[in-house]
Amino acid sequence: MIDSTKYINIFIDYQSSEIKQVTIIRKVRILRFLFEYLESIDIEDLYDVTKMMVYDFLLTKSWRSQTKSHAQFVLREFFNYMKEEGLAKFDGYELYPIIVTNKRDNILSYYSEDQIRKMIDSIDTSCKCGIRNKCMVTIAAYTGLRASDIVFLTFSEIKWDKNIISKIQRKTGVAIEIPITNQIKFLLIDYLKNHRPNIKSEYVFINSVNNLPFKDAKILTSIVRNAFIKADVDISKKKAGAHSLRHSLATNMLKNNTPLPVIKEILGHTNINTTEKYISVDIEGLRRMSLEVPIYE
């Protein structure tokens, strides 16, 4: 019987300091399914596993496309480390050179740089909360910060002397430093000096209705969606919330030949596999590179 616990523990020990417990649990779940399959075909050592066996394992699962893509990223990462440790014959990129994630979501959630600019320009800055809204949306569009990290941005996280936002990401708990462009800096200064309610709060952005901090980050998704609609950008059958800006930033950076590791740092990912999930590829590229079920050798 293959010692699944040994291999899983080696893998988890290697990365547990970088990721949250809930992420570890999800990865372990995928790996346990893999080892159950390997045991069912009488594999006793990981070094005896072939790529075909891994492909066959996924074919036994009636998972939806998004779940299968997630499993492929986990398996790629797992076999990368196992190969480094001399415990597997092949690495993860030999197993899955390219992973096509949820194709429909990835393609349709992308907006061009021109569409993003048009959307931001459509925000009415003459209304009570206009500058605040434009400031939050601009930060989302050009830094890649998640909605929760923007809506709950604190004064202490803005390092004016260094022109950066330095914070612990709410979702991952990982520290990140993001440069503040002049465009963002001037919008922040304008909001703080001329438009922010005069209340004491550690939070930068304030609800103009009750002059209190926001209760959740949904407000930013609503602002972004309404701005797209006002700008007459086609969002039919598309995601058009704050997260689409993060996704679009990553894709536009790649189109401008920004290396993937740089995009990874800007998005605050601990694993480059996660960054790859954000990258939209043109449809013809998807047709050429789709290796979701690789051809058996």
Residues 183 and 192 sit within 8 Å (Cβ to Cβ): no
User: How high is the pLDDT of residue 279?
Assistant: 62
The pLDDT of residue 59 is 92
Q: Count CA atoms closer than 13 A to 96's CA, side-chain side.
A: 26
Q: What is the pLDDT of residue 196?
A: 97
Q: pLDDT tens digits for the chain (297 residues)?
A: 899 999 999 998 887 565 778 888 999 999 999 999 999 999 999 999 999 999 999 999 999 888 998 999 999 999 999 999 999 999 999 999 888 765 544 444 789 999 999 999 999 999 999 999 999 999 999 999 999 999 999 999 999 999 999 999 998 888 999 999 999 999 999 999 999 999 999 999 999 999 999 999 999 999 999 999 999 999 987 889 999 999 899 888 888 888 888 888 888 887 776 777 666 544 444 344 343 434 333
* β-pair partners for 269: none
Query: Helices 130-143 and 113-121 meet at what angle, rounded to 10?
Result: 170
Q: Which residue has the tokens 């480059």?
A: 272
**pTM (2 d.p.):** 0.64
Q: Residue 145 and residue 78: Cα distance in Å, rounded? A: 28
Residues 6+ apart with CB under 8 A from 125: 131, 134
Using CB atoms within 10 Å of the CB of residue 213, give its burial: 0 to 12 exposed, 13 to 18 middle, 19+ buried. middle
Return the SS3 of 16.
Answer: coil
**CA pair distance 50, 297, nearest whole angstrom:** 10
Calpha distance 142→149 (Å, rounded): 14
Residue with tokens 């997630």: 70
Q: Where are the beta strands (DSSP E) in 63-173?
A: 158-159, 164-168
Q: Which amino acid is at 261?
A: P
Map residue 113 onto helix, strand or coil. Answer: helix
pLDDT of residue 289: 39
Distance, CA of 5 to CA of 31 (rounded, Å): 10
Structural domains of the chain sorted by starting position, each given as residue range(s) with its CATH number in brackets: 4-104 (1.10.150), 110-276 (1.10.443.10)
**Can you name the residues that pair with 177 across neighbouring β-strands?**
166
For 206, other C-beta atoms within 10 Å of its C-beta total 20
No. of helices (H) and no. of strands (E), the chain: 15, 5
